[in-house]
């Protein structure tokens, strides 16, 4: 079935323009690249056996991502794996199109895979009332926390970082230039944002708060020389530790606002 964005969608034409602000593709370090947009990150890792993409942007994004790959001298057909950080339309909406054009296998956590297969939000998601449908992803492999994913000469480690969604997954790997190597992290969102009327202090919200606390600790503990956040605006320095600290401060502020404590 052909999927069409509508103006009512957060990823529809009215908002896609914001998400698709052009950004020149660039090499970050070694075999690691940025091929996304001004306010929406898409990562790429070059391996000896093909390319790995991390996230796919909104449903309208594939053509621009493929053009960014071409600017770097690559083809969408070089992509063998697509790793998903979270099953929301702004990050996963373009995955089905990219997988179709590349023939790549999509990899995600089990909770994320359930959403990606349907293209419809988990009703328990704090943002469920805001979330839009997106093109469902057919070919999926589920990934466990700490699982090593190997393609050619690169190993990417899955890092479960739930909270923003229960299926959120961050990814880490090593990039080298000669003898100099850096620990790279592409982090899922840790932002405690929710639809109007949702309360993280409610019984329904408490599992998400506990998941956030776990994820903040995981993020602080990661080897992290270079950080890419799912939305560049969320990274204001300090690497993974700074990222977790700011996210925890936002969650704590929201809980104080909800409870008056």
**pLDDT < 50 stretches in the chain:** 1-13
Distances from the Cα of 168 to the Cαs of 55, 75, 89, 142, 224, in angstroms?
12, 28, 13, 12, 18
Three-class SS state of 105? strand
Instruction: With CA atoms as reference, report the closest residue to 36 among 11, 10, 66.
Output: 66
DSSP β-bridge partners for residue 171: 158, 186
**What is the reported pLDDT for 15?**
64
CA 139 to chain centre: 18
CB-based contact 132:11 (threshold 8 Å) = yes
Distances from the Cα of 258 to the Cαs of 61, 157, 197, 254, in angstroms?
36, 36, 10, 6
**What is the reported pLDDT for 6?**
31
Distances from the Cα of 1 to the Cαs of 7, 53, 68, 73, 98, in angstroms?
19, 24, 27, 32, 16
The tokens for 238 are 């300090």
pTM, entire model: 0.93
DSSP character string of 180-229: EEEEEEEEPP------TT--TTSTTTHHHHHHHHHHHHHHHHS--SEEEE
CB-based contact 113:167 (threshold 8 Å) = yes
**What is the reported pLDDT for 29?**
98
Report d(CA 185, CA 143) in Å as an integer. 17
Instruction: With CA atoms as reference, report the closest residue to 195 among 203, 205, 185, 187.
Output: 205
239 backbone φψ class: left, alpha, beta (φ>0; ψ -120 to 50): left
């Amino acid at each position: 079935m052909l999927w069409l964005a509508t103006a009512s969608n957060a990823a529809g034409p009215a908002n896609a323009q914001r998400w698709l602000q052009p950004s020149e593709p660039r090499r970050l370090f070694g075999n690691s690249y940025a091929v996304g947009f001004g306010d929406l990150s898409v990562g790429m890792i070059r391996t000896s056996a093909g390319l790995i993409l991390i996230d796919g942007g909104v449903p309208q994004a594939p053509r621009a991502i493929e053009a960014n790959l071409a600017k770097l001298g690559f083809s969408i057909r070089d992509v063998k794996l697509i790793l998903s950080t979270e099953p929301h339309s702004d990050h996963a909406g373009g995955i089905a199109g990219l997988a179709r054009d590349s023939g790549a296998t999509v990899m995600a956590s089990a909770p994320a895979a359930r959403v990606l297969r349907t293209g419809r939000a988990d009703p328990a998601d704090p943002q469920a009332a805001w979330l839009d449908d997106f093109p469902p992803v057919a070919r999926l492999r589920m990934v466990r926390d700490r699982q090593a994913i190997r393609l050619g000469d690169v190993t990417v480690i899955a890092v479960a970082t739930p909270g923003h969604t229960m299926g959120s997954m961050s990814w880490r790997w090593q990039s080298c230039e000669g003898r100099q190597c850096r620990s790279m992290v592409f982090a899922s969102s840790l932002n405690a944002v929710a639809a109007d009327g949702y309360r993280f202090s409610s019984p329904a919200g408490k599992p998400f708060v506990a998941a956030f606390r776990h994820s903040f600790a995981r993020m602080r503990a990661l080897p992290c020389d270079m950080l890419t956040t799912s939305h560049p605006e969320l990274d204001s320095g300090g690497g993974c530790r700074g990222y977790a600290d700011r996210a925890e401060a936002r969650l704590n502020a929201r809980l104080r606002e909800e409870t008056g404590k």
